[in-house]
Amino acid sequence: MVSLKKTAVIGAGSWGTALAKHAADIGHDVLLWARREDQVRAMNDTHVNAQYLPGITLPPNLRATSSLEEALSDAELVLSVVPSHTKREVWMEGKKYLKSGVPVMSASKGIELSTLHLMSDVLHEVLGDQPLAFLAGPSFAKEVAVHAPTAVVLASKDTDLARRLQKEISSDWLRTYVSDDVVGLELGGALKNVIAIACGIADGLGFGHNTRAAIITRGLAEITRMAIKMGGDPLTMAGLGGMGDLVLTCTGDLSRNRRVGIGLGQGKKLSEILTEMGQVAEGVRTAQSAHDLANREGIEMPIARQMYCILYEDKAPRTSVLDLMRRDLKHEKN
């Protein structure tokens, strides 16, 4: 059990709620910020986030608020778990209430579409010299919430900060490793969602394990090429934030991005799938930013390219499969 700490969690989706519950379960005094007042009232009244983490009882030392000022003004640790496309907007407001020197740990995965910036870039731009760290790794929200043993990675350019936060958030069910490869960890966390949609499409089309293994392996090759080009460590891609997170998201039944792909493979429209889910699937937006980033950096990402075509150009999934299989033959290392 760690010492009591006032912790703010910004973002009350499934992952934000699970992390807030985790912090409360290990002894933190937690304020969980949600944008919608009706969601806040329901969580405080019922101690359940029925929309995003149903069936999970939230502890009494976790309270919800719709006020960023209330959440942040006395916080000693902040977890930022808002979706990537709202990160800048939320923190342009939130920075007014954040005390200098309070660590901000980002657990959102994505690439800002308008700028092609990683979440680390966005937070550095908005928050300046505030201590920053970035959490990733194979971690379904529901499983963390019920204390299933889980291993994650916390990356920061400040090694001392990373090691201090490692001790603050680790527990008997959440083991945290540290890294200094912020870029590699963020790209692994963002781009794996696009590959997970591809795996879901293959499942929806009725293909087998051969297809899934090929997509995961060649998807990892695409992510690694981009990580190296942008200054990441290729060894990160062999770890929890690379292969670990990729395998989980591409194979797990709790993966929202895989569920999007399954629906597309079954012939459903994207709008229909997202309405049925009622939650954000980061890979949908990331498919567009990955496509643009690959073009900007001159990196070959054929699977990500086909996901963009399916999601944004209404290309038939079976046609994309054939186009991938008919590409010029080459050495595996290319």
Q: Of 180, 204, 225, which residue is a domain's last? A: 180
Are residues 170 and 236 both part of a single domain?
no
Q: Give the residue-averaged pLDDT of 244-268.
A: 97
The confidence score (pLDDT) of residue 258 equals 97
Q: Of 180, 205, 226, which residue is a domain's last? A: 180
The confidence score (pLDDT) of residue 279 equals 79
**Beta carbons within 10 angstroms of residue 100's beta carbon:** 9
Q: Is the pLDDT of residue 1 over 50?
A: no
Full residue range of the structural domain in which residue 213 is found: 183-325
> 330 in a domain, yes or no?
no
| 87 is known as an active-site residue | no
Q: Among residues 125, 73, 123, 78, which one has the least CA distance to residue 99?
A: 73
> 130 in a domain, yes or no?
yes
Which CATH number characterizes residue 207's domain? 1.10.1040.10
- Report the DSSP beta bridge partners of residue 91: none
> 331 in a domain, yes or no?
no
Reported as a single tens digit per residue, the pLDDT across 117-141 is 999 999 999 999 999 999 999 999 9
Q: Among residues 64, 61, 59, which one has the least CA distance to residue 13?
A: 64
User: What is the model's pTM?
Assistant: 0.95
The confidence score (pLDDT) of residue 333 equals 86
Reported as a single tens digit per residue, the pLDDT across 128-180 is 999 999 999 999 999 999 999 999 999 999 999 999 999 999 999 999 999 99
For the range 24-28, what are the long-range contacts, defined as Cβ-Cβ under 8 Å and sequence gap of 24 or more? 24/58, 24/59, 24/61, 24/62, 25/59, 25/147, 25/171, 26/1, 26/2, 26/169, 26/171, 27/1, 27/2, 27/3, 27/61, 28/2, 28/4, 28/61, 28/77
CA dist., res. 176 & res. 305, Å (int): 33
Q: Give the residue-averaged pLDDT of 96-103.
A: 97
Catalytic option among 142, 192, 229, 269: 192
Q: Give the residue-averaged pLDDT of 196-215.
A: 98
Reported as a single tens digit per residue, the pLDDT across 269-308 is 999 999 998 877 899 999 999 999 999 999 999 999 999 9
